[in-house]
Amino acid sequence: MQEKFEEIRKRALEEAKQVDSLNTLNEIKAKFVGKNGEVTSLLRSMKDIPNEEKASFGKLVNDLKEEVNKFFNEREEYLKNKELESKYSKEAVDITLPGKKKSVGSLHPLNIVRNKIIDAFTGMGFEIFEGPEIDTDYYCFQALNIPKDHPARDMQDTFYFNDNILLRPHTSPGQVRTMENKKPPIKILSPGRVYRADDDASHSPMFHQIEGLVVDKGVSLCDLKGLLDEFVRKIFDSDTKTRFRPSYFPFTEPSVEVDVTCCKCHGKGCSLCKGTGWIEILGAGVVNKKVLEMSGIDSNVYSGLAFGLGIERITMIKYGISDIRTLFENNIKFLNQFDRR
């Protein structure tokens, strides 16, 4: 009997070693420990064993069964691992290959500067108001104290659709539309596209402006100076200084043009500032009382300040760009030079 057990054990081990596919493993295993397997039938023959040997016989068969199961389970594990390994090696990726780089877009320099300007002013409590690009003669001129045939219209050679409708030549109509719709205190910024029949290295028929307007009790030229000083320090270097020069705009009285110390030479004089140390950046002033009144604001109670700046101009000064047209050519090499954040 002992020999028979040993022979089955050996054969099971041998056959388990030879199985090389998971599909056939169970079949072969069943030959030994399946329902009609050799070891199972040994158990069945228990009834023919004399009573006093039953216990030791049962133990031997059970040990054999356990061992045979172990052989096949170990083989199953081994085959499963082998299968996984071959699957992994087929799916392997060559991690030494260089990856495919995704090119990330960047903001256009004009948007970078526009966002910076908006951040600077919203930080001082300004709200954004955007007006229409196609507007009427009234909003673009008359309500800003520029009557028909006024010589100040020559400053802006404009695209008209007809006598009354035009592409706005500046963002100043935003002042009027705000004052008509909002009671003081008013503190708004109006950014957007504007259009003029102009085209050379420093002028483009379409460009961008930002208008600023503050209306409240007791607003003065001093407030304008304070606001603009803060603004230029945020946009240019923190040591940048401003200077007001007297000027003329029909919608402000008094009117000023605002210069900043040249960001290239810091006031010493260079080619960018044409040797003067100063660069003009915007027009501004105290809102003309006539303009307040025309928009329904009592000029005896309220006063205002306004300013208008060109985003292209500020961008060109900030980055030392000499030709405005490069901003609109969409040349990737040019655009890639600017901050990606």
Instruction: Give me the least distance between CB of 196 and ligand DAH, in Å please.
Output: 9
Report in angstroms how near the CB of residue 229 gets to ligand DAH at its nearest.
17
Closer of 153 and 234 to ligand DAH (Cβ): 153
Nearer to ligand DAH, 114 or 170 (CB): 170
Of 50, 11, 7, the residue nearest 29 (C-alpha): 11
Q: Is 241 exposed, middle or buried (0-12, 13-18, 19+ CB in 10 A)?
A: middle
Q: Which is nearer to ligand DAH, 40 or 299 (CB)?
A: 299
Which parts of this chain interact with ligand DAH (CB under 6 A)?
170, 172, 211, 249, 252, 283-285, 306-308
Look up residue 16 and give its two tokens.
């388990």
Q: Left if phi > 0, otherwise alpha if psi is -120 to 50, otherwise beta: which for 49?
A: beta
Asked if 169 contacts 154 with a C-beta cutoff of 8 angstroms, the reply is no
Taking each helix axis from N to C terminus, what angle separates 2-18 and 51-91, rounded to the nearest 10 degrees? 10
d(C-alpha 160, C-alpha 148), whole Å? 14
Nearest approach, Cβ of residue 268 and ligand DAH (Å)? 28
Closer residue to ligand DAH, CB minimum distance, 232 or 306: 306
CA angle (202, 339, 263) in 5-degree steps: 50
SS3 at position 180 = helix
CB of 233 to ligand DAH, least distance (A): 21
Smallest separation (angstroms) from ligand DAH to the CB of 308:
2
- Position of minimal CB gap to ligand DAH: 308
